[in-house]
Amino acid sequence: MKNLSGKFTPIMMFDVYQLFELLFDGVEKAREYIEESEKELKKIADHKWGNSNCYLKFNGEFFQFLISKEYDGEIRLHVWSKHEEVLETSFPLKDNKKYLENLQHHVHYIMSRYTQGYIICSDCGEEHKRDEIQNNRYFAGIYCEKCWNKTWKAIEAKETYN
Ligand SMILES: [Zn+2]
């Protein structure tokens, strides 16, 4: 098998329901399980990657996601499309079923709106048509006209592209 190793990219694919099934069992437990599974897959495939290779499948589209543990112990969920960040949210420090149920609805809603052409401004959180604000970008963020002109346009302009 040796000369066949490293020839494919292993990914982990979930739908929103599957991901939340894991999270309802404990957010930290789910995070560790995903992290461990990635390590195992990496070993099997002899694949070296830095990014998360976890994906959410939604309405036929694929979204990369990461469940991160921050330095202060906070656990966050990040979801990206090919183009930009679709959502970023924190989990409560203690597992809370009601909160997770609401979060599942929220994730489902945001992603379904995204696939219909709408996106949340990375600053104010208001929903906008993706087409109308797609040039207002800074790294993975996308901003509405108001936030772009108020803050992000100047920040983006200061970047040196060399
Ligand atoms: Zn905004």
Which residue segment(s) compose the domain that 53 sits in?
2-116
pLDDT of residue 151: 94
pLDDT of residue 8: 83
Residues 110 and 131 occupy one common structural domain: no
Residues 51 and 96 occupy one common structural domain: yes
Find tokens 């560790």 and name the residue: 32
Residues 96 and 61 occupy one common structural domain: yes
Residues 62 and 139 occupy one common structural domain: no
Number of domains in the chain: 2
pTM of this structure = 0.85
Q: Is 58 left (phi over 0), alpha (psi -120 to 50) or beta?
A: beta
Task: Give me ligand 1 centre to Cα 62, in Å.
Answer: 25
Closest by Cα among 126, 161, 120 to 142 = 120
Residues 49 and 107 occupy one common structural domain: yes
pLDDT in tens, 115-161: 999 999 999 999 999 999 999 999 888 999 999 999 999 999 988 66
- Phi, psi dihedrals of residue 149, rounded to the nearest 5°: -70, -30
3-state secondary structure of 155: helix
Task: Give me ligand 1 centre to Cα 22, in Å.
Answer: 32
Task: Give me ligand 1 centre to Cα 31, in Å.
Answer: 30
pLDDT of residue 98: 93
pLDDT in tens, 8-66: 888 999 999 999 999 999 999 999 999 999 999 888 888 876 667 899 999 999 999 99
Residues 35 and 101 occupy one common structural domain: yes
Task: Give me ligand 1 centre to Cα 25, in Å.
Answer: 35
The whole-angstrom separation of Cα 65 and Cα 30 is 13
Task: Give me ligand 1 centre to Cα 157, in Å.
Answer: 18
Task: Give me ligand 1 centre to Cα 120, in Å.
Answer: 8
Residue 122, strand partner residues: none
The whole-angstrom separation of Cα 140 and Cα 76 is 16
Looking at residue 132, its amino acid is E
Flag whether pLDDT at 2 surpasses 80.
no
Structure tokens at 147: 């936030």
Task: Give me ligand 1 centre to Cα 146, in Å.
Answer: 6
